Structures are given as C-alpha cells and as structure tokens.
Amino acid sequence: MFRALADPTRRAILDRLRRREHGVGALCEPFAMTQPAISQHLRVLSEAGLVRSRRQGRERIYSISPRPLRQAFDWLAHFESFWTDRLDALGDHLDDDP
C-alpha cells in the first residue's frame, strides 16, 4: 500500500481527488501522459484500496477511499515523538507500545 503511494503521479492524483472527485478524463488533463497510463495508476490505487469508483453515464468517477491512508497515517504517527520531543538527539525513545 505504501507501494501505491510511492509514485508521484499517484500522489498527485490523490491530491487532486482530495479536492473533489473526478472522472478519468479530468484526471488525465494535468499530466503529460496518455490516458491508459492514468488508468493503470488508478488501477494500482484501487487495488490498494485508496480510491473507489462508480459509473455515471459513460464516465467513471473516482474518489478517495480513506481507510488505508489512515493506516499509513497511524503508522507514521508512531514516530511523532521524534519530532515532538526536544530530547530527539538523546536516543531516548524506548517502547511506546509494548
């Protein structure tokens, strides 16, 4: 799933979808890339559970599906004390979830 977030195009797509949902055509527009390439990225995002889609006429509308993003967020939150503590440099981080 972090793998799906590893690609900058896919992160840009998510940033775009964060603002509002979009059809594929609209998602393609800002990228210097063919439509199949975007569809493939959407597939990766979809398989990672990061987006969902529904049909609407002949368009397919994609939107954010937040659950895995939240998992990633929660994982990173484990490291929060590293930038919160001023004790940072002391290597003072022992088990916070035993």
Partner DNA sequence: TTGACACATAAGAATGTTCTTATATGATGT
Partner DNA sequence: ACATCATATAAGAACATTCTTATGTGTCAA
String of DSSP letters for 6-45? TSHHHHHHHHHHHHS-EEHHHHHTTSSS-HHHHHHHHHHH
Site for DNA in 7-26 (CB under 7 A): 7, 9, 23-25
Which tokens go with 15? Answer: 């940033």
Q: Contacts with DNA in 56-85 (CB under 7 A)?
A: 57-60
DSSP state letter for 2:
H
DSSP string computed for 62-79: EEE--HHHHHHHHHHHTT
Q: Which of residues 26-45 bind DNA (CB under 7 A)?
A: 32-44
Judged by CB, which is closer to DNA: 37, or 87? 37
For residue 65, the minimal CB distance to its own copies (Å) is: 8
Q: Taking CB under 8 A as the rule, does residue 47 contact its own copies?
A: no
Q: Which residues bind DNA (CB under 7 A)?
A: 3, 6-7, 9, 23-25, 32-44, 53, 55, 57-60
